[in-house]
Structure 1
């Protein structure tokens, strides 16, 4: 075996340029496979981590998917709101630890406006129960303060201290609340969730900018200046939804039943994790597309690998024929090629893994800032291990093909190859 290893090393060194191209081909195949697979995995994890640490989401009775879409992803609108007294009753439930009410409906230059309480910045979690952090500034304190997400700030060029105005509704034809501007008090650090695309204001501010509105339209002849709104009761009459945290998660189904049987108005409570899985089963076409892309990349990579190995057969015909002429049998030839193929394949896979690791580390900040896709350096997943094993086995098998074919050629053909 030692002698065969030495022969394999000398043969590889004599063909170092060709083998370097083979190693590069395997490395690029590994890089593409791991890259596509990691993006596919992180897409699902980012989707599933849009909200965490919240035990229930409570809203007007509707579909669980619809409630999740407008409360977490700011997509669509609620069929109905929930009364403020219902929020207070929910907060008074003995099993409830905290309640964060949310009011939606307005927008700012295409970004959703979320009215909530300061407790939102304390209790909202995403990812692996990560809290919200301020990139700059602080949470809102005064009535007309606003805290914006990272994508809002980056795309619109906003900074702390800048004045902005909100729009009523979220369509193309919207009326501006131009008489009541807000001051950007803080910019949240990027989360890779819909929080990045949200403008946050206080519930009292949402009431203040709608004091002269009724039925979704401004009342003719009624104008209340911004410095006069504090004379009015700014307690919200209703909100869109509420995030709920429990004292004991074991009581989640008991509180859910209490909400569904609440006599004040028809309400429903959903478990965010369950609703996210249901939603992903509907919109997970992107994951299937990336999975198909991974399979195609693997197929093309393996086909290219076999082509590169087979292309090198012509320059090895004399070498293999000489080995046969001095007494090497099929087992010796195949063992020699198996050693060489295993070493080349392992080296190519190792280089590919290194490229993928460096690529994730370098590209992750750019992908997160531009597309909201957070890639993390972590241990390979089961699918990634299987892909690596498949590449190694395929490369090893591909290295045996020239040996089998060369052995079937005549010695004369190998010793005097045609040009």
Structure 2
């Protein structure tokens, strides 16, 4: 009976009710969208590197090793000798390795030397492989494979020449102009630091530094690119190694052996552990984002209460008639609570629909443009809990106008005001 009465009352004030529901729906859609972006960003961050069991570098800190080897931020404290790398790669529990060498740049983007194993074993977002959008991998000593952002920001296409600069400055004053590279391929968007990396071969890194010593060009030496091709370009050292093991059970024992390596001080870290440690340092923005979206929902609820309260003065006679036909003050108060709950429920349902529609349309666009993976799916258990909490909050907020209606007396409602 009360439900039908509340629905009829809302129908009589349909314009106000629809606007209130629309405001609630937009706030809920925004809240769910921010929540999905927040969890998606965290998942994307955690899936920056997947399928790699250990990251090995010179002894430093786990976060520092992760930053320069995966995120291309900062510098290594030292390099790993090629002999130590081969010793690790030849261990029976090691299934594959990906050596990487850092230290050069191109117009603000990091240049990374590696091998074809990088394209075969590097995984992100669960188990997604690197895919070439255009061109091919390394076929020549001076081939370069660009990340999606490098190609887009600098306007490169397959076949274009590029010149690598020594060091990591945005403007390289010391360039390897005598040995230019050719863009052989461009990777598809990944939403990881791969997008902002110029990939070349390990041998190419050695080749462009043939005439260099201690970070500077050796005076009087000028080896041509043709002469370099005939040289032994086996690296003397590398920056870090990505390692995959034959069995997950052997990961910790291998990590311990590498950390106790007698030939030189090395550090082996678990990528997942290091990522969680890093996220704990930069995850403050996540909490701030959740707080802002929560304030949006709170503002919408306050607006709903204000709309109901503002209608009470116009509904004094309605309340009085209800009291006259036998409805007690408690019944009138429950009617206000029920109206607020109905508006909140309708707003939650409409907001969920808007959220899912937006996710279906914008999800692929966001993934393509920013590499943020937002899969289309029904609300998760956490999101359903949030929706339930919103409806409950709407019901509780209805107590405010309910108290106002409860206090209205029959005589006040029947009084004719001039």
Same fold flag (TM > 0.5): yes
Q: Superposition pairs for residues 2-401 of structure 1, below 5 Å?
A: 4-171=2-169, 172-368=171-367, 371-401=370-400
Gap change, CA 1:320 and 1:209, over 3 Å in 2: same
Q: Which moved more, 1:9-18 or 1:365-374?
A: 365-374
Unpaired runs of 5+ residues, structure 2, are: none
Cα deviation, 1:227-283, whole Å, max 9, x if unaligned, reads: 221111111111000000000010011101111222222111000111111111222
Note if contact 2:363-2:375 (Cα within 8 Å) is conserved in structure 1: yes
Cα deviation, 1:135-187, whole Å, max 9, x if unaligned, reads: 22222221111111111111112222221111111124531112222111211
Note if contact 2:332-2:405 (Cα within 8 Å) is conserved in structure 1: no
**CA root-mean-square deviation:** 1.9
Note if contact 2:107-2:172 (Cα within 8 Å) is conserved in structure 1: no
| Alignment coverage as a number of residue pairs | 417
- Give the secondary structure class of the aligned counterpart of 2:412: helix
Tell me how far apart the structure 1 counterparts of residues 151 and 416 of structure 2 sit (CA, whole Å).
68
* TM-score (norm: length of structure 2): 0.94
Note if contact 1:36-1:293 (Cα within 8 Å) is conserved in structure 2: no
The CA deviation at 1:390 is: 2.0
Cα deviation, 1:103-144, whole Å, max 9, x if unaligned, reads: 001111111111100010110011112111122222222111
Note if contact 2:55-2:241 (Cα within 8 Å) is conserved in structure 1: yes
- Give the secondary structure class of the aligned counterpart of 1:374: coil
Gap change, CA 1:292 and 1:339, over 3 Å in 2: closer
Tell me how far apart the structure 1 counterparts of residues 323 and 230 of structure 2 sit (CA, whole Å).
100
Note if contact 1:149-1:199 (Cα within 8 Å) is conserved in structure 2: yes
Tell me how far apart the structure 2 counterparts of residues 375 and 192 of structure 1 sit (CA, whole Å).
12
Note if contact 2:10-2:339 (Cα within 8 Å) is conserved in structure 1: yes
Gap change, CA 1:9 and 1:94, over 3 Å in 2: same
The CA deviation at 1:99 is: 0.4
Tell me how far apart the structure 1 counterparts of residues 5 and 144 of structure 2 sit (CA, whole Å).
72
Cα deviation, 1:2-40, whole Å, max 9, x if unaligned, reads: xx3332232221110000111012112212221222222
* TM-score (norm: length of structure 1): 0.94
Tell me how far apart the structure 2 counterparts of residues 283 and 345 of structure 1 sit (CA, whole Å).
35
Gap change, CA 1:291 and 1:274, over 3 Å in 2: same
- Give the secondary structure class of the aligned counterpart of 2:373: coil
Q: Which moved more, 1:60-69 or 1:312-321?
A: 312-321
The CA deviation at 1:417 is: 6.3
Tell me how far apart the structure 2 counterparts of residues 185 and 160 of structure 1 sit (CA, whole Å).
6
Tell me how far apart the structure 2 counterparts of residues 322 and 349 of structure 1 sit (CA, whole Å).
32
Note if contact 1:33-1:387 (Cα within 8 Å) is conserved in structure 2: no
- Give the secondary structure class of the aligned counterpart of 2:396: helix
Tell me how far apart the structure 2 counterparts of residues 296 and 11 of structure 1 sit (CA, whole Å).
29
Q: Which moved more, 1:314-323 or 1:293-302?
A: 293-302
Note if contact 1:318-1:417 (Cα within 8 Å) is conserved in structure 2: no
Tell me how far apart the structure 2 counterparts of residues 9 and 295 of structure 1 sit (CA, whole Å).
28
- Give the secondary structure class of the aligned counterpart of 2:56: strand
